[in-house]
Structure formats: C-alpha cells, structure tokens
Structure 1
Amino acid sequence: MNATALRGATLHYDDLGPSTGLPVLLIHGHPFNRTLWAPQAEALTAAGYRVITPDLRGYGRSSVTPGKVFLSDFADDLAALLDHLDIGRAVVGGVSMGGQIAMEFQHRHPRRVQALVLSDTSAPAETDEGKEFRNRLADRLLAEGMDCYAGEVIDKMLAPYNVAALPDVAERVLGMMRATDPRGAAAALRGRAERPDYRDTLAAVREPVLIVVGADDVYTPVADAEAIHRLVPHATLVVIEKAGHLPGAEQPGAFNRALLDFLTTQLARHAGMEG
C-alpha cells in the first residue's frame, strides 16, 4: 500500500501489476474501501494489467474531510492521483457511488478516460426524497456510528441468499462497513445528495463502456443498468446472476470474466479503430 498527499488530503492506494500494463483505476462504493476490489485486482494483474485501487478520502485509511464531500471532489482527487503516478489515460471503473464518481470523472476529465466500467449504479440526479434520506442518514451515522447501519443493509448490499451462502464474503463486506469513519461516510452522503444528472455525459461518451449489474440488485436494479445502456447503445451490458449490489464480491469469477472479455475485445477493437 502507498500514500500520497494531494488536494488537502492523504490518499492511501494500491498500485499493483506491471508498470507497463494498461492502467485500470477501480473506485469503491459507499461505505467500503479499496479492498472491495481485491478479487478484480488479482485477476487483472495476473492478466498483465496495472491496477490502481484507492481509498477515497474519508474511507479506508485515507484522511477524513468532515462536512460535505462532493462527487467532483472525489473525481478531482483521482485525477490528481493519476498525475502523481504519471498516468495520462486509464480505464476508469466504479461500483455504486464509485460508478457515479466514474461518471463525474468522465464529465470533468474526459480525455483521461480510455474506457468506462459502471457497476450497479445510476445516472439521474438525486431526487428530493433521496436528498432528504441521505442527509438524515448522515446525521444518524454521526450520532450512532456504523455498526447498526451495517447490519441493517448487509442483505441489500449482497443478495439476501448470499449473506448465508457466502459467509466469508458477508463478513468481509460487514468489516469494511463497520471500519469506515462515520465522518467520512456522512460527508460523502451529503455531497452525493447534491449529485447532478449524468445522462447527457453518458450519451456523449464515445469510448468503450461496460455496464455490469447484479441480477438481484435492489439498490440499483437491472432496469437502471438498462437505462444506461439505452443512453450508450454501443456499450456492453452484462447481468451477473446470483448477485445483488456487489457482484464483484458475490460472483467474482463471473464479474472478472466479463471485465477481462471487455478489456481484451471491446477495448482492443476500439484501439484498432482509433489507429
């Protein structure tokens, strides 16, 4: 693990695989950390890719910025991290909130995106109801901590049947949630409540896009992934069976096959067309 100071925060991150490999930046969701992507990092580095998995500010071992952290703050942090690593362009992927950060990155830094990977996420702006919910939840996490919340949402983060069927995965996901600093989680919730609409951004994307969703995701169901696919008709949509909101953790084999197939076919085809 590495750390660097940037934009008023200290970001911890893993930089794995050969330095000459195609860079793949993977962005975790709320309220997790970079280790969520461990199965993908292992598969990608074995295939020769360079994988960068950061702890977003306020999560994992990165420093906390209390108050409100916008998706644009996270996106600019990641651009600064790529600068620090002397990486011009990368495949940028994220799950849930991480997918929205990837969309924000596409909006703010489009020339740095070689391809997008959007897992279990949604593009429209937050609703009034959603804003109220996220701000109330932020208040609650600051008052109570993460433990009760983690227990309440584990069967939504994972498909309910996987909580019992995959106890090691459930424990790993619970551990990440419980270890998150409530101040960091609350700041991200308040910023995410103000998120813009990314549909125009997605409609303008010409780079390859992979959309992945768990078949039994209740937070961002298959319909949300299909809506993104309609915006980006040249994208690849993959539905992962026997998975909920975190298919990369629940069904890593199927997720990794979809990701590697995308990188070796769609991305290579796009590169050939550019050439």
Structure 2
Amino acid sequence: MSVRESGSGTPLVLLHAFPLNASMWSAQLDALPGPTGDEARVLAPDQRGFGGTELGADEPSLDLVADDLALLLDAAGIDRAVVGGLSMGGYVALAFARRHPDRLAGLLLSNTRATADTDAARANRERIAAAVTARDSVQLLLDERVAAGQLGPDSQHLVERVQAMVAAAPPAAVAWAQRAMAARPDSLDVLAGLRVPLAVVAGALDALAPLEEAERMVQAGPDAELTVVPGVGHLSALESPGAFDAAVRRLLARVAAG
C-alpha cells in the first residue's frame, strides 16, 4: 500500500472517499500531529487501486480493504489505532471494526452511513462500474459532475481539486470499488457492539449521506459524539478542515482518557 504519514503519538489512520485518494488528507497530515508533531501519528493510505496502491486480482470486497489496513498496521509496528474514514473510507472503517476489533482504539465515521445500499443504489453502482469498464475511462464521473455534487454550495472553489483526483482514478479501481461498496452489509450491529469511543461527523448540507444517517449511527453506538459541520456537503474534511480536525482532536482526547 502507498501511504502518507506525518507526526508521532496516537496512531490515527484516515481513509479517503470514493473516487479520491490519500491526497485529500493533506490538511490533516499537516495539522493533526499538532505544533510539536507528537499529538498524533497520522497515516493516510491509498485504498486498493487508487493513488499509488495496486488493485490486485481479488473479487471486490471491502473486507479485503480492511484486511489491507491490518497488514499496514503490522508493517508500521502499530498494535491499535484510531481509524477514521470519510464516505467510502467510512465503509472500510466499519469493515475493519467488524473484522479486527482488537486493533481498534477509536472510530471516526464522517459523511458516511452504516446501512447497506438500497436496490436502487446498488443498481446505480453497477451502472457506473459497467460504463467505466466498457469505456476504460472515468469521464462518466466527470460528466455527471461527481466533484460538484460532493461539495456544498459554498465549497465550489474546491471543484477543480476534487475533479483532478476523480480524473486520476483508474477505471478498474472505480468499478472494483463500486461493486465492493454495493456488496457491503448493514453495519449497525458493529456499532452496537463497539467498545471504543465513536465520533460521527456530518455535513449539514450533505445530500449523499444525510444527517439522519449520522444520527442513526450515533444512536447505535454506546459511546458516540456527533459533530454537524454547518454549510458543508459530503467532503467535510476538505470543505471545513478546522471543524473536522477539532472533532478528530476531541476523539483523540477521549481515547487518551481511556
């Protein structure tokens, strides 16, 4: 796996959204280690097929991506970590919590949901997967204004940056990830059994992961805190890094307090 890393201290893994890559976490890699660099050891990996990480030949499954993360922690000499994900990254974080609960020190779920896809959502994922595969191009995602649709109305200045990440996504990775997300199970049971602090971050204007999904996750988790970031859409870490980082720091403090 390709991974960006900064700082020392409490291990914190940040998992990127679809169809972006770990470069979306540049602000967090700079800020979250703190002024002395020892508040957090931040690791931001590229998930399968994105950025600098190879896709491999396995059938689509977010469980495999979660297992990739466990191997990354092994390689980094990390026993337990706070694991956070945004959108697709949140799905992977939930899969990690299900498959490797003993490796989890805290869980951050941002602009995501714990419920499974509806039939309509699965059909749309397959439509996209089939189209990008047939055309060997991700132009469909650009034509359908995926970047603009992920951002709130006051964050459209970020469209070009997000578009560049979308355009860099390999078609095979886009198709694989869509099919992996479509196959994911409902994970509210994972949250109900969680034994570590949970932080949920929602964008007040997020149409892709509405606030009621965030509230559902908070209600399921026994030790949960909800942060609603005003004025932002689906990419809160990019749109309002200060508010997002503050929520992460509160989670890190709760983890440290034990």
- Whether these two folds match at TM > 0.5 is yes
Asked if 1:170 corresponds to 2:159, the answer is yes
Counterpart contact for 1:12–1:54, Cα < 8 Å: yes
Query: What is the distance in 2 between the residues matched to 1:199 and 1:120?
Result: 15
Asked if 1:205 corresponds to 2:180, the answer is no
Counterpart contact for 2:229–2:236, Cα < 8 Å: yes
Structure 2 residue corresponding to 1:46, chosen from 31, 34, 45: 34
Alignment of 1:119-268 (within 5 A): 119-144=110-135, 145-151=137-143, 152-163=145-156, 167=157, 169-264=158-253, 266-268=254-256
Paired positions, count: 253
- What letter corresponds to residue 146 of structure 1 in structure 2? V
Query: What is the distance in 1 between the residues matched to 2:230 and 2:186?
Result: 28
- Structure 1 residue ranges (4+ consecutive) displaced by more than 6 angstroms after TM superposition: none
Cross-structure match for 1:112: 103
Asked if 1:14 corresponds to 2:1, the answer is no
Query: What is the distance in 2 between the residues matched to 1:170 and 1:103?
Result: 28
Q: Which moved more, 1:145-154 or 1:48-57?
A: 145-154
Asked if 1:29 corresponds to 2:20, the answer is no
Query: What is the distance in 2 between the residues matched to 1:114 and 1:128?
Result: 34
- 1:15: how far off? 2.2
Alignment of 1:65-104 (within 5 A): 65=56, 68-104=59-95
Secondary structure, aligned partner of 1:263: helix
After superposition, what is the alpha-carbon deviation per residue over 1:97-116, rounded to whole angstroms, capped at 9, x for unaligned? 10010000000000000000
Secondary structure, aligned partner of 2:77: coil
- Percent identical across equivalent pairs? 39
Q: 1:75 to 1:13 in 2, by over 3 A?
A: same
- 1:170: how far off? 2.0
After superposition, what is the alpha-carbon deviation per residue over 1:208-248, rounded to whole angstroms, capped at 9, x for unaligned? 01000111001001111001011014201000011100000
- 1:84: how far off? 0.8
Secondary structure, aligned partner of 1:46: coil
Structure 2 residue corresponding to 1:55, chosen from 46, 69, 84: 46
- 1:267: how far off? 1.8
Q: What is the RMSD computed on CA atoms of the aligned residues?
A: 1.4
- What letter corresponds to residue 5 of structure 2 in structure 1? D
Q: Structure 2, unaligned stretches of length 5 or more?
A: none
Q: Which moved more, 1:62-71 or 1:193-202?
A: 62-71
Query: What is the distance in 1 between the residues matched to 2:148 and 2:139?
Result: 14
Query: What is the distance in 1 between the residues matched to 2:125 and 2:101?
Result: 28
Counterpart contact for 2:132–2:140, Cα < 8 Å: no
